């Protein structure tokens, strides 16, 4: 349509309006009304018309405004004036309606159609034009990327490659979110102070008159690690060396926290379950489980104290000893080793005191403690045990004496005084009225139970009496020792069945000083001479030494005897070169015949014996003869009366 045609058509329209106003009379007013919807939705690229109709005046001035800016003005008889930037889109229809050709988004606005006539009231009507694009390629993102529990807020925002949204609706796990100005803004949803319960699927539903799109996004609110726990299986208050167990570390968090086990400052495992087999006491201690959120880098930790116990070795030991110059008693209880150390106490002595592994209690010695037994109680997590100890005064004892010869050739006499006592008795030594101390002649052992006396001459040992006193805090025992020269108290001889071998035994008095023994024989030579240190030389009336035995010996064996011959034996005790009294002489073998005095005795005794036998025979003969004569005398009969009287007269 040309510009002339448009002008001609507008003129025809206004002519019609003028004639209408003339026929109505001199009174006329403008009438304007839309012929369609005042709110018009249009799709980008389409044509759309804002339709109007008006009447009541001639030659009015017509104008269209986009918001407050005029885009088209037209006066009757002239061509419409269109904003130059919009001439390709806007078109004024003959009836005043406004058409948009190939409309674009920038024309979405409020439009006002206004008619003005001098002398008449101005009239207008308003339209709203909404231009929409099809919604395409909608995506959601969160800000920040990592949503962490406890932060102030996080926001979901959508974007699209094209489209105009008329309405947006947000959903959480399929349920609509009631939005307001606090949590909903253009293209976004704001979640304040997010918590783990806000984790889920979010979606936005976008719509306009020409289409709709729904877009989804899963949101995970990160938290933790928190509430860490360590569980031991089997669960026990403690474990014994050699046991096995599992330690499990648990903790909540999103994402699932990583785990690291630390023991003794070293990383020992990254597994949630720590397997400990055949544990030892050195593995006891604090095991720390470190939990890490790999995304937030937040950490949490928890420790578990593993107690690995070991029983103390062996059994508890109780003892008592003398302290404070042998005046007081110290009771001691020990159960060493073990993890932890055992707790010890003497409940009857002092229940208020205890010790770990060792316990010592010192008390004043008194008579009521002599022979009294006290119990030490020991407590260990694995086992309870006990031991007993009894303190007692020294018992009666007998000293013992041993004699040797040292490398210097001196006689060494060792006197032992040992008295059974608890605690062990301390031995005090004296010679006569003087205390014995260590020196050249005397030497006391470290435990005081032995006194050694050294000298070349045995006579020097016999000058004084020695006294040993065994003493502890509960009492003492005293014994005197009078040393004697070399001597033998008893001896015996035991031959074998054939009489070819014999054993000679002897005993020595308790306090005799003896360094050796000479075994002497009297009689014929032995059949073998190489068996002994000393040998007899031919037959002699004197004794000869055939063996030598040390001072500790108490027997000697003699071989190769002739059972048809007679031997005599004796033992000589010696203290170096000093001989003691010989033992009893022992004889073995057949007899040697009668001696002269024995024969004379027999000669004198035989006649006397014959005379005695004759006198005895004569005496026996006379007795027999006498009894025979009495039995031959005549007996006369007696009357019964006389017999009766005789019987009555017999005494009862």
pLDDT tens track for 234-266:
999 999 999 999 999 999 999 999 999 999 999
How sure is the predictor about 426, in pLDDT bands with cuts at 50, 70 and 90? very high
How sure is the predictor about 86, in pLDDT bands with cuts at 50, 70 and 90? confident
Whether residue 470 has a cis bond before it, omega within 30° of 0: no
Residues 181 and 269 in one domain: no
DSSP reduced 3-state for 642 = helix
Residue 26 belongs to some domain of the structure = no
Q: Averaged over 276-300, what is the pLDDT?
A: 95
Residues 200 and 234 in one domain: no
329: domain CATH number is 2.60.40
Residues 144 and 125 in one domain: no
What pLDDT does residue 527 have?
58
Q: What is each CA distance from 444 to 127, 165, 408, 430, 472, in whole angstroms?
A: 136, 118, 19, 11, 18
Residues 206 and 259 in one domain: no
Alpha-carbon gap, residue 509 to 486, rounded angstroms: 9
Record the pTM.
0.59
Q: Averaged over 493-507, what is the pLDDT?
A: 93
Residue 233 belongs to some domain of the structure = yes
State the chain's mean pLDDT as an integer. Answer: 86
**pLDDT tens per residue across span 103-135:** 999 999 999 999 988 778 889 999 999 999 999
The yes-or-no verdict on residue 184 having pLDDT over 80 is no
Query: How many independent structural domains does the chain possess?
Result: 6
Residues 380 and 416 in one domain: no
Residue 59 belongs to some domain of the structure = yes
Residues 504 and 568 in one domain: yes
Residue 151 belongs to some domain of the structure = yes
Among 101, 132, 163, residue at a domain's last position: 132
Q: Averaged over 357-381, what is the pLDDT?
A: 95
Domain of residue 552 covers: 490-525+543-588
User: 94 or 639: whose pLDDT is higher?
Assistant: 94
107: domain CATH number is 2.60.40.10
Residues 340 and 430 in one domain: no
Residues contacting residue 112 through CB under 8 Å, at least 6 positions apart: 64, 65, 124, 125, 126, 127
How many Cβ atoms are within 10 Å of 539's Cβ, its own excluded? 10
Q: Which two three-digit tokens encode residue 467?
A: 């006294």
The yes-or-no verdict on residue 311 having pLDDT over 70 is yes
How sure is the predictor about 225, in pLDDT bands with cuts at 50, 70 and 90? very high
Residue 532 belongs to some domain of the structure = no
Residues 96 and 121 in one domain: yes
Residues 39 and 118 in one domain: yes
**pLDDT tens per residue across span 572-600:** 999 988 899 999 999 998 865 454 455 55
Report which of 35, 31, 52 is spatially closest to residue 120, judged by C-alpha positions: 31
What pLDDT does residue 183 have?
63
What pLDDT does residue 639 have?
42
Residues 35 and 127 in one domain: yes
Among 309, 328, 350, residue at a domain's last position: 309
Residues 126 and 37 in one domain: yes
Q: Encode 8-51 in three state secondary structure.
A: HHHHHHHHHHHHHHHHCCCCCCCEEEECCCCEEEEECCCCEEEC
The yes-or-no verdict on residue 451 having pLDDT over 80 is yes
> What residues form DSSP beta bridges with 605?
none
Q: What is each CA distance from 503 to 98, 330, 491, 548, 561, in whole angstroms?
A: 161, 53, 11, 14, 12
Q: Which two three-digit tokens encode residue 562?
A: 């002739």
Residue 651 belongs to some domain of the structure = no
Residues 293 and 339 in one domain: no
Alpha-carbon gap, residue 194 to 152, rounded angstroms: 7
Residue 612 belongs to some domain of the structure = no
Among 391, 421, 442, residue at a domain's last position: 391
Residues contacting residue 265 through CB under 8 Å, at least 6 positions apart: none
Please report, to the nearest 10 degrees, the dihedral formed by the alpha carbons of residues 142, 147, 153, 155 taken in order: 10
Residue 623 belongs to some domain of the structure = no
């Amino acid at each position: 349509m040309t510009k002339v045609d448009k002008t001609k058509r507008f003129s025809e329209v206004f002519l019609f309006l003028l004639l209408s106003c003339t026929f109505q009379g001199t009174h006329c007013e403008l009438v304007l009304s839309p012929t369609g919807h005042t709110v018009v939705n249009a799709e980008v690229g389409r044509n759309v018309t804002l339709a109007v109709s008006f009447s009541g005046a001639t030659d009015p001035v017509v104008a269209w405004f986009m918001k407050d800016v005029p885009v088209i003005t037209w006066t009757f008889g002239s061509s419409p004036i269109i904003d130059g930037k919009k001439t390709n889109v806007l078109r004024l229809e003959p009836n005043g309606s406004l058409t948009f050709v190939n409309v674009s988004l920038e024309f979405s606005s409020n439009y006002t159609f206004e008619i003005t006539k001098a002398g008449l009231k101005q009239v207008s009507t308003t339209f709203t034009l909404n231009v929409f694009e099809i919604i395409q390629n909608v995506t959601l993102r969160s800000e920040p990327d990592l949503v962490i529990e406890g932060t102030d807020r996080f926001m979901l925002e959508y974007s699209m490659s094209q489209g105009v949204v008329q309405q947006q609706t947000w959903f959480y796990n399929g349920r609509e979110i009631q939005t307001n100005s606090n949590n909903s803004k253009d293209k976004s949803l704001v979640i304040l102070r997010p918590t783990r319960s806000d984790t889920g699927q979010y979606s936005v539903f976008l719509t306009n008159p020409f289409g709709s799109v729904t877009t989804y996004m899963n949101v995970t609110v990160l938290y933790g690690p928190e509430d860490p726990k360590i569980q031991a299986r089997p669960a026990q208050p403690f474990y014994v060396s050699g046991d096995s167990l599992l330690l499990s570390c648990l903790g909540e968090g999103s994402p699932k926290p990583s785990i690291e086990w630390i023991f003794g400052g070293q990383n020992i495992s990254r597994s949630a379950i720590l397997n400990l087999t055949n544990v030892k006491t050195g593995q006891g201690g604090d095991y720390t489980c470190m939990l890490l959120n790999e995304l937030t880098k937040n950490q949490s930790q928890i420790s578990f104290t593993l107690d690995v116990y070991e029983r103390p070795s062996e059994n508890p030991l109780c003892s008592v000893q003398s302290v404070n110059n042998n005046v007081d008693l110290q009771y001691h209880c020990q159960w060493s080793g073990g993890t932890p150390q055992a707790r010890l106490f003497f409940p009857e002595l002092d229940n208020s005191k205890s010790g770990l592994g060792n316990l010592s209690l010192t008390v004043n010695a008194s008579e009521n403690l002599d022979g009294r037994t006290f119990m030490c109680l020991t407590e260990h997590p694995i086992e309870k045990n006990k031991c007993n100890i009894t303190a007692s005064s020294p018992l009666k004892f007998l000293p013992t004496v041993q004699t040797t010869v040292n490398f210097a050739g001196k006689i060494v006499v060792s006197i032992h005084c040992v008295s059974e006592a608890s605690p062990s008795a301390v031995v005090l030594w004296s010679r006569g009225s003087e205390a014995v101390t260590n020196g050249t002649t005397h030497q006391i052992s470290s435990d005081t139970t032995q006194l050694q006396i050294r000298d070349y001459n045995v006579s020097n040992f016999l000058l004084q009496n020695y006294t040993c006193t065994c003493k502890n805090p509960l009492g003492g025992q005293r014994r005197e020792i009078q040393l004697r020269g070399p001597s033998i108290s008893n001896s015996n001889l035991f031959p074998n069945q054939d009489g070819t071998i014999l054993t000679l035994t002897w005993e020595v008095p308790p306090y005799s000083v003896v360094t050796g023994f000479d075994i002497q024989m009297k009689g014929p030579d032995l059949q073998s001479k190489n068996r002994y240190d000393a040998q007899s030389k031919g037959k002699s009336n004197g004794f000869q030494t055939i063996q030598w035995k040390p001072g500790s010996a108490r027997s000697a064996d003699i071989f190769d005897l002739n059972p048809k011959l007679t031997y005599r034996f004796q033992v000589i005790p010696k203290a170096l070169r000093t001989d003691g009294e010989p033992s009893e002489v022992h004889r073995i073998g057949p007899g040697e015949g009668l001696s002269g005095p024995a024969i004379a005795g027999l000669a004198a005794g035989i006649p006397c014996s014959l005379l005695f036998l004759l006198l005895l025979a004569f005496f026996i003969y006379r007795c027999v003869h006498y009894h025979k004569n009495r039995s031959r005398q005549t007996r006369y009969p007696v009357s019964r009366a006389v017999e009766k009287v005789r019987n009555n007269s017999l005494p009862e």
